[in-house]
C-alpha cells in the first residue's frame, strides 16, 4: 500500500469516528507513518477487568445509629408527641451495600457510642440496620422499620456518598414504639 493510500484510509477512518486506525489491530489509536509500529494506548483493553470498588480511590464512612421512641397515641395535653431520643444503638448489626446492588460490601457491629466507621472505595452506598425481632439493648422493643429503595424491609437506613479522600457521615434512627 502506498503512503498516499494509507493516509487516505487513516483520514477516512478518523473522520467517521472509528475507534481504531484502519489497517491496524483493534485497540490502537495513535497516528503513525506507514512504517512505524503503533504503540498501544489507554484504549487498549486491559487483561483484567476494572473493579468498580477500587477504581475511584477511597474515603471514610461514619455511621451513627440511634434509637428513638415514638408514641403511637396523641396526648390529651399539650406535651409534644414527637420522637424521643433513647440513645445510641450499641451492638446493632450494620450492613453496607453499593447503591442498588444487593450484597453486603461491609458488615459491622456498632460500638458503645452507636458508631461504625470504615474506609471504603469512593461510591454511593446504602447503609442499613437489618430488620430483626429485637433492638440490641432493648429486649422486646420492636423496630417500626423502613424499606430500602428496592423494597427490602430494614430497621433503618440512609444513603451515603463516600468521596475519594474525604468522608461521609450519616445517622440512622431506629424507631421503636413507646407506651
**Domain ranges in the chain?**
1-46, 58-178
Nearest to 114 by CA among 173, 177, 175, 176: 173
CA 140 and chain centroid, separation: 32
Check residue 63 and give its pLDDT: 98
Q: Which residue has the higher pLDDT, 21 or 93?
A: 93
User: What does the pLDDT read at residue 129?
Assistant: 95
Query: Is pTM beyond 0.85 here?
Result: no
Q: Who has greater pLDDT, 112 or 9?
A: 112
Interval 107-151: pLDDT, tens: 999 999 999 999 999 999 999 999 875 676 676 777 888 999 999
Give the pLDDT confidence score for residue 110 in this predicted structure: 95
Over the chain, what is the mean pLDDT?
74
Pick the residue with more confidence: 55 or 60? 60
pLDDT beyond 60 at 33: no
Distances (CA, A) of 143 to 58, 65, 78, 179: 33, 13, 26, 14
Q: Which CATH number fits domain 58-178: 3.40.50.2000, 1.20.1600.10, 3.90.1150.10, 2.60.40.10?
A: 2.60.40.10
Give the C-alpha separation, 81 to 1, whole Å.
85
Amino acid at each position: 500500500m502506498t503512503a498516499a493510500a494509507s493516509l487516505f484510509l487513516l483520514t477516512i477512518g478518523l473522520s467517521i469516528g472509528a475507534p481504531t486506525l484502519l489497517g491496524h489491530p483493534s485497540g490502537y489509536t495513535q497516528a503513525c507513518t506507514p512504517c512505524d509500529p503503533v504503540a498501544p494506548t489507554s484504549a487498549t483493553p486491559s487483561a483484567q477487568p476494572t473493579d468498580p470498588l477500587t477504581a475511584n480511590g477511597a474515603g471514610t464512612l461514619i455511621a451513627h445509629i440511634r434509637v428513638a421512641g415514638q408514641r403511637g397515641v396523641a396526648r390529651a395535653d399539650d406535651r409534644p408527641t414527637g420522637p424521643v431520643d433513647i440513645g445510641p444503638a450499641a451492638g446493632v448489626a450494620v450492613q453496607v451495600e453499593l447503591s442498588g446492588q444487593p450484597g453486603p460490601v461491609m458488615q459491622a457491629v456498632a460500638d458503645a457510642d452507636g458508631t461504625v466507621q470504615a474506609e471504603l472505595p469512593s461510591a454511593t452506598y446504602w447503609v442499613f440496620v437489618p430488620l430483626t425481632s429485637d433492638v440490641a439493648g432493648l429486649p422486646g422493643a420492636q423496630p417500626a422499620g423502613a424499606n430500602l429503595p428496592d423494597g427490602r424491609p430494614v430497621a433503618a437506613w440512609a444513603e451515603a456518598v463516600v468521596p475519594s479522600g474525604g468522608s461521609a457521615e450519616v445517622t440512622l434512627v431506629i424507631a421503636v414504639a413507646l407506651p
